[in-house]
Amino acid sequence: MFDGGVPDRQRTSAHIDLGALEANYRSIEALVSPGTVLLCVIKADAYGHGAVEVGRKLDSMGVRHFGVASIDEGRELRESGLSSTILVLGGIMPWEGVESVVDHNLTLAVVNFEMLDRIAASRGKAPVKVHVKIDTGMGRLGFSPREIEVLAGRLRESGRVEVEGVMSHFASSDKRDEYGFRQVEAFRAAVGALKEKGIEPKFVHMANSAAICSYPEAHFDMVRPGIMLYGSYPDRTLQSAIALKPVMRWSSKVTFTRLFGARSSLSYGRTFVTERETRVAYVPIGYADGYPRSLSNRGSVLIRGRRCRVLGTVCMEWIFVDVTDLPDVGPGEEVVLMGGHGSETITADEIAEQAGTIPYEILCGISRRIPRLYA
């Protein structure tokens, strides 16, 4: 039988606690030496939290350096009125024009000689501010330490390049190990070689969120917090290193409930069959919204502060929740997908562990069709 109901227009929303964002920033700030600059990473729409609003909040707190992935992300922030330094961590793509970098007063990470050639060949007289990236063992973007001598010469010769920073990136920074130490030393050597050849960067930086906790010797004079700003940990082993507050609370609503008898199958593939009479709440959220399909038959949500199991296969726009032990739950009842209710909390870290992934993917995967509400 059905208990009818119609979902509210705001059936699902993500509530962003800007006060928690500030608290996390202050906690990170307390971990680094006085004078160390925090470059706040707000790429990927601030890890799903909304780059414009997050950027404005951090800017109001005095943050003056931001990191984004692309020129388009930087342009969006400039058009929103953000005037602070914006570093494009991914550099410039072959199909993009250097002119747009200058027009929007962006700073570029330069990762290869082709990018330097693009800048040198571009029109205009104003220098392009860059952070030169050194690949010390990540195996992704950056100049090899073997290229330092040639790189220094090219940087000195270029009249279009202003070297504001030199940067690198850890391959694995959750735990201290010999490989990480070798990366730090390789970076120190590369920076020293550049300085010997007349390249004097204002900022030297290597530490991301995990390295801020694990590698204090890699703080240098700038660090790049990302995931920790939003209240999640790069690795659960770092929970004792810093106290963080989740910034996002993601919730939906019960649309209707349905009573099934024993031996009834639910959802695609008949992956769940009831063993008893079971009352099921239908919640209008699914993998199209960023709720992982891998949580089928294993995820849980909070209703009235109690954990309720996700039954069957997660659909594109629906999940099914066992509310047998909450028989009076009805349409409009709040369903917390991520966040706290009563004494219980479901974190992005927990969801990621259940889904076999990392909290970065969970947060970044929450669809833009889910409205973000700020407080």
Q: What are the pLDDT digits (tens) for 221-245?
A: 999 999 999 999 999 899 999 999 9
This prediction's pTM: 0.93
Task: Write out the chain in H/E/C secondary structure.
Answer: CEECCCCCCCCCEEEECHHHHHHHHHHHHHHCCCCCEECEECHHHHHHCCHHHHHHHHHHCCCCEEEECCHHHHHHHHHCCCCCEEEECCCCCCCCCHHHHHHCCCEEEECCHHHHHHHHHCCCCCCEEEEEEECCCCCCCCECHHHHHHHHHHHHHCCCEEEEEEECCCCCCCCCCHHHHHHHHHHHHHHHHHHHCCCCCCEEECCCHHHHHHCHHHCCCEECCCHHHHCCCCCHHHCCCCCCCCCEEEEEECCEEEEECCCCEECHHHCEECCCCEEEEEECCCHHHCCCHHHCCCCEEEECCEEEEEECCCCCCCEEEECCCCCCCCCCCEEEEEEEECCEEECHHHHHHHHCCCHHHHHHCCCCCCCEEEC
Q: What is the mean pLDDT of the chain?
A: 94
Q: How far is CA 32 from CA 39, 85, 242, in A?
A: 12, 20, 12
Q: Judge whether residue 4 has pLDDT over 90.
A: no
Average pLDDT, integer, range 323-341: 96
Output phi, psi for 68, to 5 deg: -130, 170
Q: In which band, very low, low, confident or very high, does the pLDDT at 6 lie, cut at 50, 70 and 90?
A: very low
- For residue 10, the model assigns a pLDDT of 67
Q: What residue type is assigned to position 147 of the chain?
A: E
Mean local confidence (pLDDT), 333-357: 96
Instruction: Specify which residues 274 forms β-bridges with.
Output: none
pLDDT digits (tens, 9 = 90+) for 88-145: 999 999 889 899 999 999 999 999 999 999 998 888 778 899 999 999 999 999 999 9
- Res 2: pLDDT: 34
Domain(s) labelled CATH 3.20.20.10 in the chain stretch across: 18-229
The answer to whether 69 and 61 have CB atoms below 8 angstroms apart is no
pLDDT tens-digit readout, 266-281: 999 999 999 999 999 9
Give residue 292's pLDDT: 98
Class of domain 2-14+247-374: mainly beta
Over residues 271-297, mean pLDDT: 98
| Residues forming CATH 2.40.37.10 domain(s) in the chain | 2-14+247-374
- For the cut 50, the answer to whether the pLDDT of residue 159 exceeds it is yes
User: Averaged over 28-56, what is the pLDDT?
Assistant: 97
Residue 83 has pLDDT above 70, yes or no: yes
Q: What CATH number was assigned to the domain covering residues 18-229?
A: 3.20.20.10
Residues annotated catalytic, as ranges:
43, 268
Q: Is the model's pLDDT at 1 over the cut of 50?
A: no
Question: How confident is the model at residue 122, as a pLDDT?
Answer: 86
Give the pLDDT mean for 287-305.
97
pLDDT tens figures, 163-198? 999 999 999 999 899 999 999 999 999 999 999 999
d(CA 66, CA 59): 9
Percent of the chain with pLDDT over 90: 90
